Chains A and B, each alone.
Chain A
Amino acid sequence: MSSATDSPAAAPVKAQTRYMEALNRGLADAMEEDERVVLIGIDVGAGGGIFTVTRGLHERFGPDRVIDTPISEMGYVGAAVGAAMTGLRPIVEIMFLDFIGVCLDPILNQASKLGYMTNGALKVPIVFRTQTGAGRSAGAQHSQSLEAMLAHVPGLKVVMPATVTDAHDLMLDAVRDPGPVVFIENRRLYAMRGELGVDPLPLGRARIAAPGDDVTVVTWGQSLRECLGAAEAASVSLEVIDLRSIVPLDMETVLRSAERTGRVLVVHEAVQDFGAGAEIAARVGHDLFDLLRTPVRRLGTPSVPMPFNPALERALLPGAHSIADAAAALVAEG
């Protein structure tokens, strides 16, 4: 499947970059740009990361800057926060987003609040790098999309790159950010090819990934590909917006599109209940109550742990067909 930003004219000859390579380049560029940037995590060094995202960085930047840790998330994530407070700019890897359960304190009580509680005297420039992604039978403890939980904590930015360009550019933005950023990759996108440098936008701005007229589809992460697939397949015209970050949330782009279409569908892989889609629906409903032709609709995963069985898993995740159907239903409503 091609990425959102492929333009047919530019595609053929150029060697295209994989999402994972773009991440690797982003990390390398960040380390090149600033001596204080260090990578910390399990097997990020000699092993090159279990998804090979950090491959080669250990050789290039040495073990002082690409630091392997024991399997000790609470300790090393906390240490990375301490290092960020004292002059380094760590990018700390939590291998699977699900593992955040064993090391939430340094993220939600330390990094997110120490700048605030000290009235800006302490700075915590840190990137928590992690990945998620259901759809590969990884089971309930390796498939969760927890961005809403993190976005709920004041002080954290939550970034979810869905394109090759963003994998690189948002990584650089995240490292340059003065505060803590949770950077959530999607492992189903790792092998996706696309071009670097297409339509670059700063962190915090949403992108119109596909223009359309009937329904504004708001999405992020891996779901973007499904939504683009839906846009091609649907009987109605979809305008697909890739949010790129949940915090900051670019409501302006969403509202501008929704004013035109009068219909909004929010699509995400995360569990629907209490999710980021609810926040977006509430804001659209509040700001555009009179302009909306139909109530905002959400399409996420039902509130069940992700089953191991591939057929069940597929059935639970929003896919191009269910998205296209939901969009068509919205248009039929009004």
Chain B
Amino acid sequence: MLLELYERMALIRAFETRVAELYRDGEIPGFVHTSLGQEAVAAGVCAALRDDDYLATTHRGHGHVLAKGADLDGMMAELFAKATGLCGGKGGSMHVADPAKGILGANAIVGASMPLATGAGLSSKRLGQDRVAVAFFGEGAVNQGTFHEALNLCAIWDLPVIFACENNIYAEFSDSRTMTRVPRVADRAVAYGVEASTIDGNDVEAVHAVTFDAAERCRAGDGPFLLEFETYRWHGHYEGDAQPYKPQDESATWRDADPLVVAGRRLTEAGDATSEQLEELRERAGARVESAVEAARAAPDPELEEAYAHVFGD
């Protein structure tokens, strides 16, 4: 299992690293928010879900979307705004979606994932399915009304929804701890009678275990749950942000907790993999990403008529 989680993390790492370069070089339009350093949350949570479970995420959603099983080539082409992208080039980094994999989309509105996941949980329950809905959101989003309203609705309706908070300390340029007197996001769930826990978000096994348990209990009707994953955003808010607001030595400390290093060490110490094997795995991920980049580069732009298509739900 850990090896598989490692592989998912390696793919996200390779993807995000390459995307950061491509963005810097002007090959990808728009804004890009990478999730470097946070791979364990995406991989751990999504590996605990079924293909038909729902996922609603944020502007920083590449990792989640990839981990949930979106097609890599389609993802990359979407970031390149090409016709072969998952959304035909009309969504982009902040709006990439793949409903066939239960992915209801990244979302550029802070806090929007939570009501949408609530609705997906409502559908699942009302239609007699046992699909779980996960809303990813940052700790910055817990000060939005949507967090409180959605949590309360899920609680009173007993919905199979997991509120997955990726607490990476920063909301844009602001230290989130200065924006609330309640440093632990999980503590807020008490107000709504929702079970919550705070987990080391750089420990992919821990993330996976707690999510798997929450998902199973959601299927049994015990939802919702709030899971707070403590992690760290390596890069700036968006690519190109020089992060003058971060303390000098903070990044270095967190680099020691690199989720890939943590998982890799565990694998080698247990004798489940050699460091050569892990390196090979990372190289394979890099090669996979590179072929997606080449395909995306070669792909055509959408036809102009596509700009007029699908306006009214057709």
Contact = CB atoms under 8 A, between A and B. Distances in A.
A78 B99 contact: no
B300 interface: no
Interface string A128-153: 00000000000000000000000000
A118 B153 contact: no
Contacts of A75: 115, 118, 145-146, 148-150, 152-153
Contacts of A109: 108-109, 112
Interface in B115-173: 115-124, 126-127, 133, 145-146, 148-150, 152-153, 156
Interface string B272-314: 0000000000000000000000000000000000100111111
Given A69-B153, A74-B146, A85 B314 contact: no
Contact of B115 (A81, A114, A117, A154): A81
A84 interface: yes
A117 to B, nearest CB: 4
A117 B106 CA distance: 11
A69 B118 CA distance: 13
Interface in A73-119: 74-88, 90, 105-106, 109-110, 114-119
Interface in A177-203: 177-180
Contacts, number: 164
A118 B311 contact: no
A83 B105 CA distance: 14
Interface residues of A, number: 46
A161 B275 CA distance: 69
B54 interface: yes
Interface stretch (B88-96, B219-227, B261-269): B88-96
A70 interface: yes
A52 interface: no
A86 B104 CA distance: 9
Given A105-B109, A118-B91, A119-B88, A78 B104 contact: no
Contact of B310 (A36, A105, A115): A115
Contacts of B127: 36, 87-88
B119 A85 contact: yes
B216 to A, nearest CB: 20
B204 interface: no
Interface residues of B, number: 49
A93 to B, nearest CB: 15
- Which interface residue of B117, B123, B156 has the most chain A CB atoms within 10 A? B123
Nearest to B310: A120
A87 B125 CA distance: 11
B87 interface: yes
Contact of B126 (A38, A76, A85, A121): A38
A77 B117 CA distance: 12
A83 B54 CA distance: 11
B197 to A, nearest CB: 23
B122 A83 contact: yes
6 contacts: A74-B149, A75-B149, A75-B150, A83-B123, A116-B90, A117-B92
User: Would you list the 9 A-B pairs with minimal beta carbon distance, nearest first?
Assistant: A179-B313, A82-B119, A78-B115, A75-B149, A119-B88, A82-B116, A83-B119, A86-B123, A178-B313
Interface of B: 54, 56, 86-92, 95, 97-100, 104-105, 107-109, 112, 114-124, 126-127, 133, 145-146, 148-150, 152-153, 156, 306, 309-314
Given A118-B86, A118-B91, A118-B310, 15 more contacts: A75-B150, A76-B115, A78-B114, A78-B118, A78-B150, A79-B122, A82-B121, A83-B126, A88-B123, A88-B126, A106-B116, A117-B92, A118-B87, A119-B310, A125-B313
Interface of A: 36, 38, 64-65, 69-70, 72, 74-88, 90, 105-106, 109-110, 114-125, 154-155, 157, 177-180
